[in-house]
Amino acid sequence: MSIFLTELPNTEELSSDISESLSAIFKANIKASTINFLIKLLFAAVVFVIGVYIIRFIRKVIVKYLNKTSVPIDNISFIDSMVKIILYFILILFIAGNFGIQATSILALVGSAGLTIGLAFQGALSNFAGGVLILMTKPFKLGDYIVISPSFEGTVTDIDIVHTKLRTLDNRIIVVPNGTLANTTLINSTAEEKRKIELFLPVSYSTDIDKARKVILDVVKNEENIEDDGDAVVFVESFGNSAINIGLRVYVQTVRFLPTKWRLNEYIKKAFDKNGIEIPFDQMDVHLKKD
pLDDT digits (tens, 9 = 90+) for 144-161: 999 987 778 899 988 887
Amino acid at 273: D
Contact between residue 178 and residue 130 where contact means Cβ atoms under 8 Å apart:
yes
Give me the domains of the chain, ranges plus CATH numbers.
25-112 (1.10.287), 139-188 (2.30.30.60), 194-274 (3.30.70.100)
**pLDDT tens, position by position, 105-159:** 656 655 655 555 555 556 677 787 888 888 778 888 888 999 987 778 899 988 8
Specify the pLDDT at position 202.
93
User: Which H or E run includes 148?
Assistant: strand 145-148
Give yes or no for a cis peptide into 150 (omega within 30° of 0).
yes
Q: Quick: pLDDT tens for 15-59.
A: 565 566 656 655 656 666 677 777 777 888 888 888 888 888 888
Identify the H or E element spanning 238: strand 233-239
What is the residue-averaged pLDDT of the chain? 80
Specify whether the CB–CB gap between 280 and 204 falls below 8 A: yes
- 71-101: pLDDT as tens digits: 666 677 777 877 888 888 888 877 777 666 6
Residue 159: count of CB within 10 angstroms of its CB: 23
Give this prediction's pTM. 0.57
Would you place residue 1 in the very low, low, confident or very high pLDDT band (cuts 50, 70, 90)? very low
Backbone angles phi, psi at 167, to 5 degrees: -110, 120
pLDDT confidence of residue 271:
94
Which long-range contacts does 173-178 make (Cβ < 8 Å, 24+ apart)?
Answer: 176/148, 176/152, 177/123, 177/126, 177/127, 177/130, 178/127, 178/128, 178/129, 178/130, 178/131, 178/133, 178/134
**pLDDT confidence bin for 209, thresholds 50/70/90:** very high
Count how many Cα atoms sit within 13 Å of the Cα of residue 8 in the half-sphere of its side chain: 3
- Residue 52 carries which side chain, given as an amino acid letter? V
